[in-house]
């Protein structure tokens, strides 16, 4: 490949380095460093008040960092020559002039940014809103407003997309649409950074996660690796009226037995067939025998335990 054809792969990479934001009484973001790669969806996760929105706003130069830097393709946001062509952002449910139609809302933004007029139609089509193009914004549902916000972010055909809680207020069909849409953008080689509280959705959507708590990095990496790195891996869940007998039958081996708040046994260190055989051998009646794999929610809760968000 000639030099003219190859683009540096980090052209759309986000790099957050030693970033901090001190508000009057709160250190909202505390020496935070992480990277976000092109061609992948990265979930940005943290409990309430962890500093997610503040970080995204610093990336977009809407909040000035107290220390550190946040760059996109090696440049801080104000240094980008054509920001809308480089970065699209949806920070909160889209707001627009209530009496304006969807298409006119997009035309106003694209005109102000010097983008071609047809980009408004293209962006509206991209998010499936063409049938509602001429309806007024005040008649849009929350889901339609979210889509319009995304259409606005896509006007400049940006290589980097940053979204703060995009699934808020969406119905299941809307969430599924959003998942397919964002995965499609990443598959085109774009960088997609999404903050969310919906951990089960994130597990379906994200390739990588960045988890923060109390303004600090807790973990970053591919979702599978982050889940796999937990000390508590696969465990077996058992419900039985003879919990003591089963616990005794497993004693002396590698099994580690705990009881959950509903009285079920959570057994680590052995697999389900081993537990089943031990139960059979001891004549223990089983009402449930399930293998539980760690999911993003469990890992998130374990990693952020004790780092409550409200500060």
Ligand X SMILES: Nc1ncnc2c1ncn2[C@@H]1O[C@H](COP(=O)(O)OP(=O)(O)OP(=O)(O)O)[C@@H](O)[C@H]1O
CB of 28 to ligand X, least distance (A): 3
CB under 6 A: which stretch of 20-28, 120-128, 199-207, 265-273 binds ligand X?
20-28
Nearer to ligand X, 57 or 159 (CB): 57
Of residues 36 through 95, those in contact with ligand X by CB under 6 A are 46, 48-54
Among 14, 19, 28, 132, interactor with ligand X by CB under 6 A = 28
CA 198 from centroid of its chain's CA atoms: 8
155 neighbors 123 (Cβ within 8 angstroms): yes
CB of 186 to ligand X, least distance (A): 22
Give the C-alpha separation, 20 to 64, whole Å: 9
Nearer to ligand X, 50 or 129 (CB): 50
Nearer to ligand X, 53 or 220 (CB): 53
Would you state the structure tokens that stand for residue 254, as one six-digit string?
A: 């590698």
Rounded alpha-carbon distances, angstroms, from residue 280 to 220, 253, 254, 273, 284 = 43, 16, 18, 10, 6
Give the C-alpha separation, 129 to 121, whole Å: 9
CB of 63 to ligand X, least distance (A): 8
CB proximity list for 69: less than 8 A, separation 6 or greater:
15, 16, 17, 18, 19, 76
CB under 6 A: which stretch of 21-29, 80-88, 132-140, 289-297 binds ligand X?
21-29
Nearer to ligand X, 23 or 180 (CB): 23
CB of 46 to ligand X, least distance (A): 5
Among 26, 93, 133, 272, interactor with ligand X by CB under 6 A = 26
311 binds ligand X (CB under 6 A): yes
Rg (CA), the chain: 24
Among 23, 134, 234, 271, interactor with ligand X by CB under 6 A = 23
Q: How many residues sit close enough to ligand X to count as binding (CB under 6 A)?
A: 12
CB of 292 to ligand X, least distance (A): 27
Give the C-alpha separation, 55 to 36, whole Å: 13
Q: Which of 11, 162, 37, 172 is nearest to 88 (CA)?
A: 162
| 3-state SS class at 294 | coil
Pairing relation of β-strands 235-239 and 288-292? antiparallel
Give the C-alpha separation, 84 to 103, whole Å: 18
Nearer to ligand X, 43 or 73 (CB): 43
CB of 311 to ligand X, least distance (A): 4
Q: Which residues bind ligand X (CB under 6 A)?
A: 23, 26, 28, 46, 48-54, 311
């Amino acid at each position: 490949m000639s030099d003219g054809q190859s683009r540096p792969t980090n052209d759309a990479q986000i790099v957050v380095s030693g970033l901090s934001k001190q508000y009057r009484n709160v250190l909202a973001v505390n020496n935070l460093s992480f990277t976000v790669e092109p061609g992948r969806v990265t979930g940005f996760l943290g409990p309430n008040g962890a500093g997610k929105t503040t970080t995204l706003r610093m990336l977009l130069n809407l909040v000035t960092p107290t220390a550190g830097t946040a760059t996109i393709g090696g440049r801080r946001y104000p240094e980008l020559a054509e920001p809308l062509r480089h970065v699209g952002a949806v920070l909160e449910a889209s707001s627009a002039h209530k009496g304006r139609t969807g298409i006119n809302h997009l035309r106003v933004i694209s005109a102000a940014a010097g983008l071609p007029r047809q980009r408004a139609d293209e962006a509206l089509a991209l998010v499936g809103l063409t049938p509602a193009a001429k309806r007024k914004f005040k008649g849009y549902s929350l889901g339609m407003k979210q889509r319009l916000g995304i259409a606005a972010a896509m006007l400049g055909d940006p290589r980097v997309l940053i979204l703060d809680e995009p699934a808020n207020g969406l119905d299941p069909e809307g969430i599924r649409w959003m998942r397919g849409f964002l995965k499609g953008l990443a598959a085109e080689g774009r960088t997609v950074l999404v903050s969310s509280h919906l951990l089960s959705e994130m597990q379906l959507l994200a390739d990588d996660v960045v988890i923060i708590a109390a303004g600090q990095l807790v973990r970053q990496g591919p979702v599978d690796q982050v889940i796999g790195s937990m000390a508590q891996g696969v465990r077996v869940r058992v419900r039985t009226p003879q919990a003591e007998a089963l616990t005794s039958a497993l004693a002396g081996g590698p099994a580690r037995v705990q009881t959950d708040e509903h009285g079920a046994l959570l057994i680590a260190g052995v697999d389900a067939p081993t537990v089943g055989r031990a139960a059979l051998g001891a004549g223990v009646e089983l009402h449930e025998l399930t293998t539980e794999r760690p999911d993003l929610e469990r890992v998130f809760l374990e990693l952020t335990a004790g780092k409550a968000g409200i500060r």
